[in-house]
Structure 1
């Protein structure tokens, strides 16, 4: 899985941090999400998928790895 975060779209709701705290954080000054890793662990994958689903700004984009990767 590869994760991309569009900070320009982020509305600082924090849903991603709640869903996957090892992958997302928020800047102190404005609450905009920060991507901690673009290649989350297998253990974090479900939370990252949930974060992408609940993001109100649709700022999280996922690319799933294929069997050939």
Structure 2
């Protein structure tokens, strides 16, 4: 979220309570745990099998999204 706010030029974020996130997760039909907990993942298996990402990192992806 910090990188997204920086990309759109928004100076600060508003903390969300778990209750509001539970409401949001209901509407997007997902588990609250997936919204509340961070996951640090690596695309090792994809890269080992030759997959090439279009964007090197999330900053480039945000830049591309915001230019359209």
TM-score over 0.5 for the alignment?
Answer: no
Higher-helix-fraction structure: 2
Higher relative contact order (CA 8 A, sep 6+): 1
In our comparison, the structure showing a higher alpha carbon Rg is 2
